[in-house]
């Protein structure tokens, strides 16, 4: 397919019609000259008429071709051509996969070092006329010349962010969409199978990947800390191992300042560790493996809340609330007491559910207002709806509910929603439930998540705390409404409750409401990074139509070769020259002959 560097110049092809127009115009009105010896002219031209016609058509063709070839040459035509040294000015997006798996050691150096070397080789083939972009795991296209992008490569390190290759290829296609030069996408990656995702490359796609197989790897995929908060007596954790190694590996877990605990585990299984008790508070739990070739997944962190169980006085007339409370009490997750009132509005912290009798709703709203609560119950709604999945409650069916109406500043304090409308809200020490915890109102009391929900509701939410969150580096995490700041170690970010927070790195990020710590987000690498198994070339070609795969060593030789588009300006100019000379020769030679 022939492409053009300056396609707008092709508008000049209209000039190719000039010889034809001149010919037609000239034919239209030649001046008349009286000439008695016309018979001599007639006999003269009769002999040459046939040749003259052929000559005229040939001259017309040559002149039209001359203009057309000059215009096309000015438009900078290029065509795919193999074996052409150098290349025409091109636009190239270089995607370098510095996701965590690129930190895998291979041959004494991380794979990323090999990717960077290959990237430098590709950039070395670039010319000043090329447009170059570099895209790394942060998925930000950075434009620059070869030297500038080389400096970026100098500073490139293994990113904690995962790179979805399909998304990056689509992004590169968008970058090239506005570019008039022939484009090409070069992806330098370890071609981790889990990183592949479908994409429609909008430009020739060249993949550079290592040819040596990846090392076996074991990583920590998940830490399960059970129901929180923990008591001061300690707790049990379950460490899930992922990867593609077959052997057993020792797993250690450090909790606070206590000595680490260790156990052996295998990929695909989980290791249960009992951790010693610590004083009440927020604690960081760190699990680790012995170092292997891929260090990034050898350590995983989590946040643990240690606090005494809540002392609850529950409404015994509400059957499901009473049953749940008794189960929690029998398991030691709550104690009878007056710290929290469950079911009815009372002094101190209260979890309030709407009354069965609508006639009592007015009195409840007035009592709430008297407590200074800025939320109230609206009119009963019996429309079928579902809760929006979240950290507090999963997806549950709701058939009866009182819409919760805020008299304050909008949605502050919303903990769970139904079809986007507040369903569980908190204002100060009062939590309002939009539906009664009864199967006639919602499926939640009969679901498996009911007991964990009640545990969290009483031990954490009613105490003003938020749900514990999980995240991966770079991916935005939604923040609870009451959060005003996020802190990691000495670093603190001011945030707006209800907004999003993008953790820059792995670690535990504590959520602050004023001076109180109300929750935490445990940020760890995506466990899919631990599977280092590479995709086959066939899989890559299946997902990315027309992709060419090369070793990292050879990829530079093929770069710009898809765009190994030969510059057609030279041949066209030669053609124009030949057409011009032929025209001159034909015209003058013919005149001489005539």
Partner 1 sequence: MRSGRARLDLLDPLEVSKLGGLELITEGVVEGFLSGLHRSPRRGFSVEFAEHRMYQPGDELRYVDWKILGRNDRLYVKQFEEETNLRAMIVFDTSRSMAWTGSPATVLPKLAYSQRLIAALALVLIRQRDATGLITFDDDVRSVMPPRARLSHWRQLLGTLAAVEGGQGTAAEPALKRVVRQLRRRGLVVFVSDLLLDQSLALKALRFLRHRGHQVLVLHIMDPAEVALGGPNEARFEDPESRTAVIIRPRDWAGAYRDTVRAVVSEWRLACRRHGIVYQRVTTDTPYGVVLRAALTPPSRSA
If binding is defined by CB under 8 A, does position 493 make contact with partner 1?
no
Smallest separation (angstroms) from partner 1 to the CB of 39: 7
CB 286, CB 208: distance < 8 Å: no
Rounded Cα–Cα distance for residues 240 and 223 (Å): 6
For partner 1, which is the closer residue by CB, 27 or 50?
Answer: 27
Beta strands in 214-339 (DSSP E): 218-224, 235-243, 249-255, 261-265, 270-275, 281-289, 299-306, 310-314, 334-336
Tokens of 374: 């800025």
Nearest Cα neighbor of 242 from 263, 216, 261 is 216
Nearest Cα neighbor of 325 from 342, 350, 309 is 342
Half-sphere exposure of 165 (CA within 13 A, CB side): 32
Nearest Cα neighbor of 540 from 98, 196, 162 is 196
For partner 1, which is the closer residue by CB, 40 or 57?
Answer: 40
Smallest separation (angstroms) from partner 1 to the CB of 21: 15
Smallest separation (angstroms) from partner 1 to the CB of 70: 25
Which of 13, 14, 44, 308 is the binder for partner 1 (CB under 8 A)? 44
For partner 1, which is the closer residue by CB, 40 or 574?
Answer: 40
DSSP string, 135-158: E-TT---EEE-HHHHHHHHHH---
Smallest separation (angstroms) from partner 1 to the CB of 25: 11
For partner 1, which is the closer residue by CB, 56 or 539?
Answer: 56
Smallest separation (angstroms) from partner 1 to the CB of 52: 8
For partner 1, which is the closer residue by CB, 20 or 177?
Answer: 20
Angle between helices 38-74 and 18-28 (to 10 degrees): 160
Smallest separation (angstroms) from partner 1 to the CB of 31: 5
Q: Which whole-number Å values give the CA distances from 297 to 26, 294, 508, 528, in the listed order?
A: 82, 7, 15, 10
CB 276, CB 255: distance < 8 Å: yes
Which of 11, 45, 348, 539 is the binder for partner 1 (CB under 8 A)? 45
Which of 47, 492, 554, 557 is the binder for partner 1 (CB under 8 A)? 47
Smallest separation (angstroms) from partner 1 to the CB of 40: 5
Which of 11, 14, 21, 42 is the binder for partner 1 (CB under 8 A)? 42
Smallest separation (angstroms) from partner 1 to the CB of 566: 41
If binding is defined by CB under 8 A, does position 584 make contact with partner 1?
no
Residues 1 to 40 in contact with partner 1, rule: CB under 8 A = 26-27, 30-40
Smallest separation (angstroms) from partner 1 to the CB of 58: 14
If binding is defined by CB under 8 A, does position 590 make contact with partner 1?
yes
Report how many residues bind partner 1 under the rule CB under 8 A.
Answer: 25
If binding is defined by CB under 8 A, does position 51 make contact with partner 1?
no
Which of 24, 41, 407, 584 is the binder for partner 1 (CB under 8 A)? 41
Tokens of 511: 């959520």
If binding is defined by CB under 8 A, does position 272 make contact with partner 1?
no
For partner 1, which is the closer residue by CB, 22 or 140?
Answer: 22
For partner 1, which is the closer residue by CB, 494 or 593?
Answer: 593
DSSP string, 510-525: EEEETTEEEEEEEE--
CB atoms within 10 A of CB 299: 17
**Helix spans in 382-536 (H):** 450-456
Q: Residue numbers of the site for partner 1 (CB under 8 A)?
A: 26-27, 30-45, 47-48, 590-594
């Amino acid at each position: 397919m022939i492409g053009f560097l300056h396609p707008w110049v092709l508008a000049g092809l209209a000039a190719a019609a000039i010889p034809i127009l001149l010919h037609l115009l000239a034919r239209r009105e030649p001046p008349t000259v009286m000439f008695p010896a016309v018979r001599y002219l007639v006999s003269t031209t009769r002999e040459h008429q046939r040749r003259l016609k052929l000559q005229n058509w040939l001259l017309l063709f040559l002149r039209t071709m001359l203009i057309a070839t000059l215009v096309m040459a000015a438009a900078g035509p290029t065509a795919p051509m193999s074996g052409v040294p150098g290349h025409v000015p091109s636009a190239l997006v270089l995607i370098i996969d510095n996701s965590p798996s690129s930190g895998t050691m291979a041959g004494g150096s991380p794979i990323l070092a090999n990717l960077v070397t290959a990237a430098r080789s590709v950039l070395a083939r670039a010319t000043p006329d090329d447009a170059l972009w570099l895209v790394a795991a942060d998925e930000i296209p950075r434009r620059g010349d070869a030297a500038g992008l080389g400096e970026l490569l100098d500073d490139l390190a293994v990113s904690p962010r995962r790179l979805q290759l399909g998304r990056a290829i689509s992004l590169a296609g968008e970058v090239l969409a506005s570019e008039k030069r022939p484009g090409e996408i070069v992806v330098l990656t370890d071609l981790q199978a889990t990183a592949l995702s479908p994409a429609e490359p909008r430009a020739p796609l060249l993949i550079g990947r290592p040819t040596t197989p990846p090392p076996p790897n074991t990583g920590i995929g998940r830490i399960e800390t059970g129901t929180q908060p923990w008591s001061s007596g300690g707790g049990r954790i379950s460490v899930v191992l992922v990867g593609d190694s077959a052997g057993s590996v020792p797993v250690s877990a450090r909790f606070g300042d206590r000595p680490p605990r260790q156990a052996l585990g295998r990929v695909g299984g989980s290791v249960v560790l009992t951790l010693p008790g610590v004083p009440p508070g927020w604690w960081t739990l760190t699990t680790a493996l012995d170092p292997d070739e891929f260090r990034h997944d050898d350590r995983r962190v989590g946040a643990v809340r240690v606090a005494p169980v809540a002392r609850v006085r529950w409404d015994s007339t509400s059957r499901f609330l009473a049953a749940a409370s008794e189960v929690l009490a029998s398991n030691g997750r709550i104690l009878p007491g007056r710290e929290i009132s469950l079911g009815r509005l009372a002094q101190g912290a209260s979890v309030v559910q709407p009354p069965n009798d609508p006639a009592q709703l007015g009195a409840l709203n007035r009592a709430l207002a008297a407590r200074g609560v800025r939320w109230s119950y609206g009119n009963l709604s019996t429309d079928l709806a579902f809760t929006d999945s979240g950290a507090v409650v999963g997806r549950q069916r709701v058939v009866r509910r009182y819409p919760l109406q805020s008299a304050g500043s909008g949605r502050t304090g919303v903990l769970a929603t139904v079809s986007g409308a507040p369903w569980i809200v908190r204002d100060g020490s009062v939590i309002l439930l939009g539906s009664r915890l009864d199967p006639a109102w919602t499926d939640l009391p009969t679901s498996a998540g009911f007991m964990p929900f009640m545990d969290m509701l009483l031990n954490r939410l009613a105490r003003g705390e938020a749900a514990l969150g999980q995240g991966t580096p770079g991916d935005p995490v939604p923040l609870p409404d009451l959060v005003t700041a996020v802190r990691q170690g000495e670093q603190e970010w001011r945030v707006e409750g209800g907004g999003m927070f993008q953790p820059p790195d792995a670690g535990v990020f504590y959520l602050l409401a004023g001076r109180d710590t109300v929750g935490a987000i445990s940020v760890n690498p995506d466990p899919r990074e631990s599977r280092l198994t590479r995709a086959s070339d066939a899989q890559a070609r299946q997902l990315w139509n027309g992709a060419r795969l090369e070793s990292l060593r050879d990829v530079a030789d093929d770069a710009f070769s898809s765009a190994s588009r030969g510059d057609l300006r030279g041949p066209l100019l030669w053609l124009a020259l030949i057409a011009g000379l032929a025209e001159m020769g034909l015209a003058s030679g013919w005149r001489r002959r005539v």
